[in-house]
Amino acid sequence: MAFPQSSRYVIVGAGIHGLSTAYHLAVKLKVTGRGSGEDVVVVDKGSIGAGASGIACGVVRNNYFQPAMRELMAQCVEVWESDAEAFSYHPVGYMQISPESMHEDIISIATQQRDIGYESDLIEGEADCSAYMKTIVDDWQAQGITSVLHEKKGGYSNNTKMLYGMAGKAEAEGVRIISGVEVTGFTIDSGSDAISAVETNKGNIACEEVVIAPGPWAKQFWEMLDLPRTVSIKGADGVIHDDIGMWVYWSLQEGTLGVDPNLQMTNEGKMPPVIHVDSDAPLYSDVDGSLITDQMWGIYYKPDFHFGGIQGGAAPFKVPTDPDKVAVDPYGSDSPEFIVGDKFAHMWCSALAHCQKRFEGKISVYKNEPSGGIGAFTPDSFPVFDKFRQNCTFLADSNHGYKMIGVGKLVAEELCGEPSSLLRPFRFSRYAEGELHPVSNSPFPWS
């Protein structure tokens, strides 16, 4: 198959956003009579799911303190549910389990989920929360929990199966997905400031519209387009903060406990909801009883046959963009080599044992396999979905990516002339205008 010299639409990145956009754009073009999937080309320097999408935890949830995120995620869940088999989607639900310091945040989330018709149950009070959790997993033993928000929708998806499922749907519509094509730059039209061609190591592709779905490589593509490296942000108090760096990197702490996934079956013998626990209770080692942390901590986990065990993660930590600086590990190490390793395994496995007795003494079967990685975050840790240089849609997901399968559908609609109210709160202009998303008390920067 010859390398294309031109395409109406060129999509950069064969991860969740790129593939979702390609498929939904192909369908939209056909339905509206504007074209077909043959007008769409996806290029990736690796292969399908070779980046962050291929090793993401795969959790699908609507547990957000921010109204705009909740509304967007409700739309995304609908897309997940539209073809659960092709997307390898498991709608087991999701549980946010929290201490008193997050109680008011959780009440707000529950209220607003109810307002948008997103089904969930809220349990309050330490005794009632403990009793409720034991009706699901009878070995529940976490202390200091005063709220449980049980989302009945959501769950998780198996990465590889999902990505190839979406790719298959796109290709069935005529989309071309080309691996091993590295984008090296963009040809900018001097008269219109629009992109006239995508430059690659295989040659240039002339185009009318470009969609960039870069995942953790957002900074590199941002700079290729010569977009601002710093931003001015108007705070809630009206004060403008200048020269804020556009990109922040966080180490995403994830791993897998190498046990039979069936170990985490519910009391009824069913697959459990995804469990997310935030806690301010002291966390002690499941190995020697030593104190790991007395600060706020958080973990999430679920049985996953794709990963072959109990897979999940913990709150991330910032990684400096200057390699000469030391990355700070919140669990006691200041080693610059620390990204995801022994100290994460110690903390996460101990936290699993803190929550459920069945995980006590299991750290010896922790699997040190690729998961998590480095994420490129925006200044406020929320996505930027916007158009630049007239014809370039940039999808900077700020590590919210995998669960947001519906963003591609909304982008496809916008490319066909249908503006999305769900994407408007994620425009780049929000920084200068002070239209920022509210901040919760969660230890996770993206909640």
Token code pair at residue 273: 């909801």
- Rounded to two decimals, the pTM is 0.90
Does position 328 have pLDDT exceeding 70, yes or no? no
DSSP-derived 3-state class of residue 319: strand
Describe the strand order of the beta sheet including 155-157 as a list of residue ranges: 59-60, 155-157, 89-90
Residue at token pair 């929290």: 98
User: 99 versus 321: which is more confidently predicted?
Assistant: 99
pLDDT confidence bin for 336, thresholds 50/70/90: very low
Does position 214 have pLDDT exceeding 90, yes or no? yes
DSSP-derived 3-state class of residue 408: helix
Of 316, 409, 389, the residue nearest 72 (C-alpha): 409
Residue 122 forms beta bridges with which residues? 149
What pLDDT shows up at residue 58? 85
Of 215, 195, 193, the residue nearest 205 (C-alpha): 195
Q: How large is the average pLDDT for residues 10-36?
A: 97
Does position 322 have pLDDT exceeding 60, yes or no? no
d(CA 297, CA 332): 13
Residue 392 forms beta bridges with which residues? 210, 388
d(CA 52, CA 55): 6
**Cβ(196)–Cβ(209) below 8 Å:** no
What pLDDT shows up at residue 250? 83
Q: How large is the average pLDDT for residues 209-238?
A: 94
How high is the mean pLDDT of the chain? 90
What pLDDT shows up at residue 72? 95
Domain ranges for the chain: 1-91+154-234+380-442, 94-152+248-377
Token code pair at residue 219: 């900074």
User: 332 versus 190: which is more confidently predicted?
Assistant: 190
**Cβ(444)–Cβ(387) below 8 Å:** no
Q: How large is the average pLDDT for residues 49-77?
A: 87
Does position 309 have pLDDT exceeding 80, yes or no? yes
With b for 16 or more beta-carbon neighbours within 10 A and e for fewer, the 65-96 pattern comes to bbbbbbbbbbbbbebbeeeeeebbbbbbbbbb
For the ranges 165-169, 249-253, 320-324, which has the lowest average pLDDT?
Answer: 320-324
What pLDDT shows up at residue 252? 77
* Residues shown for the chain: 447
Token code pair at residue 230: 């710093």
d(CA 376, CA 19): 20
User: 440 versus 402: which is more confidently predicted?
Assistant: 402
Q: How large is the average pLDDT for residues 171-181?
A: 97
Of 76, 7, 86, the residue nearest 42 (C-alpha): 7
The one-character DSSP state at 356 is: B
For the ranges 196-200, 207-211, 302-306, 416-420, which has the lowest average pLDDT?
Answer: 302-306
pLDDT confidence bin for 321, thresholds 50/70/90: low
User: 206 versus 113: which is more confidently predicted?
Assistant: 206
Does position 66 have pLDDT exceeding 90, yes or no? no
- Reported as a single tens digit per residue, the pLDDT across 123-170 is 999 999 999 999 999 999 999 999 999 999 999 998 889 999 999 999
- Reported as a single tens digit per residue, the pLDDT across 277-286 is 999 999 999 9
In CATH, 1-91+154-234+380-442 is 3.50.50.60? yes
Return the CATH number of the domain spanning residue range 94-152+248-377.
3.30.9.10
Sign of CA dihedral 129, 131, 136, 142: positive
Per-residue DSSP letters for 42-63? EEESS-TT-SGGGTS--EE---
pLDDT confidence bin for 210, thresholds 50/70/90: very high
What pLDDT shows up at residue 32? 96
d(CA 68, CA 75): 11
What pLDDT shows up at residue 244? 93
Residues of the chain above pLDDT 70, percent: 93
Please give the helix or strand (H or E) that residue 366 lies within, else none.
Answer: strand 366-367
- Residue 16 vs residues 23, 45, 158, 305: alpha-carbon distances, Å: 11, 15, 12, 20
User: 24 versus 324: which is more confidently predicted?
Assistant: 24
Q: How large is the average pLDDT for residues 180-194?
A: 94
Helix, strand, coil percent values for the chain (each to nearest 5):
30, 30, 40
- Reported as a single tens digit per residue, the pLDDT across 265-281 is 999 999 999 999 999 99
What pLDDT shows up at residue 1? 67
Of 132, 130, 111, the residue nearest 120 (C-alpha): 111
d(CA 270, CA 50): 32
Of 443, 261, 232, the residue nearest 358 (C-alpha): 261
Of 357, 427, 329, the residue nearest 386 (C-alpha): 427
d(CA 84, CA 374): 28
Pairing of strands 203-212, 6-12: parallel
d(CA 351, CA 312): 11
